[in-house]
Amino acid sequence: MINLLLLILCFSAVLFYGYAIYAAIAFTNRSDTTDPDFHPAVTILKPICGLDRNAYANLASFCQQDYPEYQIIFAVRDRQDPSIEIVEKISQNFPNLDINLVVSDRIIGANLKVSNLANAITIAKHEILLIADSDILVGRDYLQRVIQPLKDENVAVVTCPYRSSVQGWVATLEAIKNATDFHAGVLVSNQMEGIKFALGSTIVIRKQVLEAIGGFAAVADCLADDFQLGYLPAQAGYKVVLSNYVVEHVLTTSTLADAIQRQIRWARCIRVSRPWGYLGLIFTYGTVSSLLLLTTAENSILTWSVLAIAWLMRLIMGWVVGVKILQDAVAKRFLWIIPFSDLIYFAIWGYGFVGETVEWRGQRLKLTKEGKLVLPQESFIE
């Protein structure tokens, strides 16, 4: 019975890999034109906490856009935050840009990043908002291209895929996971039903839509604030679009323990945001289920064939999504470690089913069944 179940899991994973390859090809064949005459004014919101690797280059890349009119608002909570010095340097180096710095410790919820955004938006001048994490690096054509889907009045949110820049083997494992597994799921979702969520790499949202879903207060206690800023508009009937612009995500070098804690946080975040989708990930771990089948069943041509097909399809999917679509240099160089990466993240996926706390920004927070964070000083009463 157990072998039959494992065989079914292997078969479903191969189907998933095949469909992900199809979704990736369909995505890259999509016709996306850039209209040089479409350039509405944009306000860029950049929440910052501390210094990311390559901090100046990351933030300055948003100041080097070939775009006629945009405002940038950097927001931090602590007046002693080292990022303030970087922002001041950027302001000096780009004197002709509309650059603002908001320093405020006002908190509207447990998610301090969202509080930063809520503080920043108070001086936003334009109807179209663009939110991007501080560890994102972009090219000069970024703003012009990601805004294009808004030519369709029905589009309320635009988000972007990303590839990772890394240092160290720990970050390399995370980058492989993001490029060849996470983004495969994003492309499958996009192909099957249209994307219904957003990624923190880029969130373009109309201000009126943000207000319609309750503003930043609606996601102030959510761990997956980026997910919700796409999900809530989609639930309200608005259209969310996945741009074909791939941004650069500068992964912070970290210890193995920090990386595992981060992955556990993301796993529990997905579990509470999309519980059935999280459970369904069992059908995508073909490398693991085929290896288990090989160890539990009789050593036969069938079991070896299943393993070979599952692993081959997994590597092909990783190559198509990570190398061809995202043009991720890490995925190209380290494609061969995908099976090892899958084993690690399968264990993390299993561990993600238990526990209610997450480590985030030096705080230990409780994650409720609704995906909300509870501040440390609050009592954990169910």
Task: Give me the helices (H) in 281-366, please.
Answer: 286-296, 301-318, 329-333, 338-351
Provide the number of structural domains found in the chain: 2
**In the predicted model, what is the mean pLDDT of residues 72-93?**
94
> Per residue in 29-68, pLDDT tens?
887 788 889 999 999 999 998 888 889 999 999 999 999 9
Query: Could you tell me if residue 381 is inside a domain?
Result: no
Distance CA 105, CA 225 (A): 19
For residues 118 and 226, membership in a common domain is answered with yes
One-letter amino acid for residue 201 of the chain = S
Q: Between 260 and 226, name the one with better pLDDT.
A: 226
For residues 220 and 92, membership in a common domain is answered with yes
Query: Could you tell me if residue 83 is inside a domain?
Result: yes
For residues 214 and 293, membership in a common domain is answered with no
> Per residue in 339-358, pLDDT tens?
999 999 999 999 888 877 77
Q: Which of 231, 259, 287 is the last residue of a domain?
A: 259
Q: Which of 259, 284, 307 is the last residue of a domain?
A: 259
For residues 143 and 242, membership in a common domain is answered with yes
Q: Which of 204, 239, 259 is the last residue of a domain?
A: 259
Query: Could you tell me if residue 177 is inside a domain?
Result: yes
Query: Could you tell me if residue 353 is inside a domain?
Result: yes
- The tokens 């090892």 sit on which residue? 340
pLDDT of residue 380: 35
Name the DSSP letter for residue 245: P
CATH classification at residue 179: 3.90.550.10
Least confident piece of the model among 15-24, 87-96, 229-238, 354-363: 354-363
For residues 297 and 334, membership in a common domain is answered with yes
Distance CA 101, CA 89 (A): 12
Query: Could you tell me if residue 378 is inside a domain?
Result: no
Distance CA 344, CA 287 (A): 11
For residues 177 and 225, membership in a common domain is answered with yes
Name the DSSP letter for residue 335: G
pLDDT of residue 378: 45
For residues 231 and 365, membership in a common domain is answered with no
Query: Could you tell me if residue 379 is inside a domain?
Result: no
For residues 96 and 176, membership in a common domain is answered with yes
Query: Could you tell me if residue 264 is inside a domain?
Result: no
User: What is the reported pTM?
Assistant: 0.90
Distance CA 169, CA 8 (A): 33
- The tokens 């927070």 sit on which residue? 365
> Per residue in 173-213, pLDDT tens?
889 999 999 999 999 999 998 999 999 999 999 999 999 99
3-state DSSP assignment of residue 83: helix
Least confident piece of the model among 189-203, 294-308, 357-371: 357-371
Query: Could you tell me if residue 380 is inside a domain?
Result: no
For residues 81 and 162, membership in a common domain is answered with yes
What is the 3-state secondary structure of 146-198?
A: HCHHHHCCCEEEEECCEEEECCCHHHHHHHHHHHHHHHHHHHHHHHHHCCCCC
For residues 319 and 212, membership in a common domain is answered with no
Distance CA 77, CA 56 (A): 19
For residues 10 and 62, membership in a common domain is answered with no
Distance CA 351, CA 266 (A): 12
Residues 6+ apart with CB under 8 A from 220: 108, 109, 110, 111, 114, 115, 118
- The tokens 């970290």 sit on which residue? 254
Distance CA 269, CA 221 (A): 12
* 106-123 CB burial, b ≥16 within 10 A, e <16: ebbbbbbbbbbbbbbbee
Domain range enclosing 190: 32-259
Tokens of 275: 């519980």
Distance CA 248, CA 228 (A): 22
For residues 200 and 315, membership in a common domain is answered with no
